[in-house]
């Protein structure tokens, strides 16, 4: 019997050739300026320059109770929003944090305990998304997990030495969606999770 090897697939063309890379800052996270040649669709090469901010990847969690039709979110001060029109700098968000070397599920269990005090039983991965691909490298892993009142083992609040002062808040799902419309909730990742939950139904998140 003659064995025929499958035809080799053509390799995708190299579209990016890095020409120069400069470190602009690494005092908190890493800010770089990269000059590169980019292969355009018409076959021509174009030299471009971009700054990228690398703070690592993260994970975000929607805590929900389908029976009561409620969600648990957080409220905390976000300085970048304060300098960009958010009068008091306070933002309502889903619990989230950077991976810091952990896998996404371990991260979200840790962050839920630190920020909200809830012990997470069965987190479910929903999807992944780049949140600001024009300049920030971060990819977020989105999760949902059902909670009961007895799962809250502490008050949470975050770490004071990191400047965190986080309040856990419980909202009716309808109220949370209304707060998107009214502008009381303006955090992108939180809006994505709430809209996803509204589309599929809380009962289908578990």
Domain ranges in the chain? 16-54, 58-204
User: Is residue 6 pLDDT above 90, yes or no?
Assistant: no
Residue range 35-57: mean pLDDT, rounded: 96
The per-residue pLDDT for 131 is 94
Q: pLDDT digit string (tens) for 82-105?
A: 999 999 999 999 999 999 999 999
The per-residue pLDDT for 206 is 76
Q: What is the mean pLDDT of the chain?
A: 91
The per-residue pLDDT for 153 is 83
Domain 58-204: CATH class, spelled out: alpha beta
DSSP string, the chain: -PPPPPPPPPPPPP-EEEEEEEEEE-SSSEEEEEEEEEE-TTS-EEEEEEEEEE---EEEEEEEETTTTEEEEEEEE-HHHHTTT-TT-EEEE-EEEE-TTS-HHHHHHHHHHHHH-BPPS--EEEEEEES-TTTB--EEEEEEEE--GGGB-S-----GGGT---EEEEEEHHHHHHHHHHTS---HHHHHHHHHHHHH-GGGT-
- Lowest model confidence (mean pLDDT) among 4-13, 16-25, 162-171: 4-13
Q: pLDDT digit string (tens) for 186-205?
A: 999 999 999 999 999 999 98
| Backbone dihedral angles phi then psi of residue 93, each to the nearest 5 degrees | -140, 160
Residue range 44-57: mean pLDDT, rounded: 96
Distance CA 131, CA 203 (A): 26
| Angle in degrees, 0-180, between the axes of helices 188-200 and 173-182, rounded to the nearest 10 | 130
pTM of the model: 0.90
The per-residue pLDDT for 2 is 53
């Amino acid at each position: 019997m003659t064995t025929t090897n499958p035809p080799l697939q053509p390799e995708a063309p190299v579209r990016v050739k890095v020409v120069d890379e400069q470190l602009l800052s690494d005092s908190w996270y890493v800010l770089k300026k990269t000059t590169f040649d980019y292969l355009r669709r018409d076959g021509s090469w174009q030299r471009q320059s971009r700054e990228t901010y690398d703070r690592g990847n993260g994970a975000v969690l929607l805590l929900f109770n389908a029976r009561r039709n409620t969600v648990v979110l957080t409220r905390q001060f976000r300085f970048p929003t304060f300098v960009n029109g958010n009068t008091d700098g306070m933002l309502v968000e889903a619990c989230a944090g950077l991976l810091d070397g952990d896998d996404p599920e371990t991260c979200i269990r840790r962050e839920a305990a630190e920020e909200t005090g809830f012990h997470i039983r069965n987190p479910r991965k929903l999807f992944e998304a780049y949140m600001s691909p024009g300049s920030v490298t971060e990819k977020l892993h989105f999760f949902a997990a059902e909670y009961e009142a007895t799962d809250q083992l502490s008050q949470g609040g975050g770490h004071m030495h990191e400047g965190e002062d986080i309040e856990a808040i419980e909202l009716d799902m309808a109220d949370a969606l209304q707060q998107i419309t009214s502008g009381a909730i303006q955090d992108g990742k939180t809006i994505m999770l709430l809209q996803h939950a509204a589309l599929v139904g809380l009962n289908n998140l578990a």
